[in-house]
Amino acid sequence: MIQENFVIDNNGRKIAVQVPIKKYEKLVADSEELDEIKEYRKAKAHKGNAIPFEQAFREIEEAVK
């Protein structure tokens, strides 16, 4: 079981939560994995023309610069 610590404001409303680092790291990893799955599904649903992997990689590398 996870012990959560809530941060409250002056009105007693919960405004944040503290979780153990390991749990936080797992939440971040799971979130990133879900983002990747969503992007994959979106790309797979796109009915465009396929391009060679090398070209796609080159275009991605240029976009990041």
Per-residue pLDDT tens over the stretch 4-35: 899 999 999 999 999 989 999 999 999 999 99
Secondary-structure percent of the chain, ordered helix, strand, coil, rounded to 5: 55, 15, 30
Could you tell me the pTM of the whole model? 0.57
Closest by CA to 6, choosing from 21, 18, 20, 24, is 18
Count the alpha carbons within 13 Å of 64 in the hemisphere toward its beta carbon.
6
Per-residue pLDDT tens over the stretch 28-52: 999 999 999 999 898 888 877 888 9
Range of the domain at 35: 5-64
Domain count within the chain = 1
* Nearest-angstrom CA–CA distance, 39 and 3: 33
